[in-house]
Amino acid sequence: MNNKPPEFLVVIPARLGSTRLPRKPLADIGGKPMVIRVAERARQSNAQSVVVATDSPEIQAACDEYRIECLLTSPDHPTGTDRIAEVAQLLKLPADTLVVNVQGDEPLIPPELINQVAQTLADNTACAISTVAVPITDASEITNPNVVKVVLNKAGEALYFSRASIPFVRDPELAQDVTHLRHLGIYAYRADFLEAYTRLNPAPPEQAEALEQLRALWNGYRIAVHTASEAPPAGVDTAEDLERVRQILAR
């Protein structure tokens, strides 16, 4: 295992057309658009560069104002991964480049978590992707379909992701011996996987669960999972989330 931190870049996909919170990336947080707050957090990581990928000239203009690198990408991408794949293509990234996907609605993301997901992929050379999970401590989350669960093999690679309660504990007496893991939506990819991803058809389990990472597993790609001790602050999905983040940063 290499002790030297890996080189990587961060790409932040930012789409203006959010359904739950309109114009979310440009929402004001303490005088700055949310996407700028996310990019500033990412710049505190070990990333060699931070790039916003958007379909919106408005978001591009905001990035220009704050001197954040931004690439205008197609409005037709079905997923954030497809948008990041276009960035890898536009930047002509070498096949082994590590690319970390930071969601554009995570203005409180710890820079160390970004470093960790890149390190996990660098350490697991047979894997195309890395991501993060945390132990579930609230039992109600195990059966909550909005909480994505992941089961790992003994090497710390993902066996399956699901909105269902996996692993299902058949014998209640064994429940205390089972740790359920919540998946967090931060990923690192190798650039050659991103190039291949755009040619993969949606997979049946991906469509059933509405989880795009299942497309990679379905096609035989390996996903390394770092298990963090605690979850980072939640991202912004609703107006209430936005107000909570404003209050935290105002302190």
Strand 223-227 with 129-135, pairing: parallel
Angle separating helix axes 34-43 and 57-65, nearest 10 degrees: 50
User: In the chain, count of helices (H) and strands (E)?
Assistant: 8, 11
Closest by alpha carbon to 64, among 93, 102, 35? 35
CA–CA separation, 216 vs 14, rounded Å? 22
Instruction: Please classify residue 33 by burial: count the beta carbons closer than 10 Å to its beta carbon, then call 0-12 exposed, 13-18 middle and 19+ buried.
Output: buried
pLDDT at 80: 84
pLDDT at 22: 83
Domains assigned to the chain = 8-241 (3.90.550.10)
Strand 8-14 with 98-101, pairing: parallel
Taking only the tens of pLDDT, the chain with its 251 residues reads: 556 889 999 999 998 877 778 899 999 999 999 999 999 999 999 999 999 999 999 999 999 999 999 999 998 888 889 999 999 999 999 999 999 999 999 999 999 999 999 999 999 999 999 999 999 999 999 999 999 999 999 999 999 999 999 999 998 888 888 999 999 999 999 999 999 998 999 999 999 999 999 999 999 999 999 999 888 888 898 889 999 999 998 88
pLDDT at 2: 52
Global pTM reads: 0.93
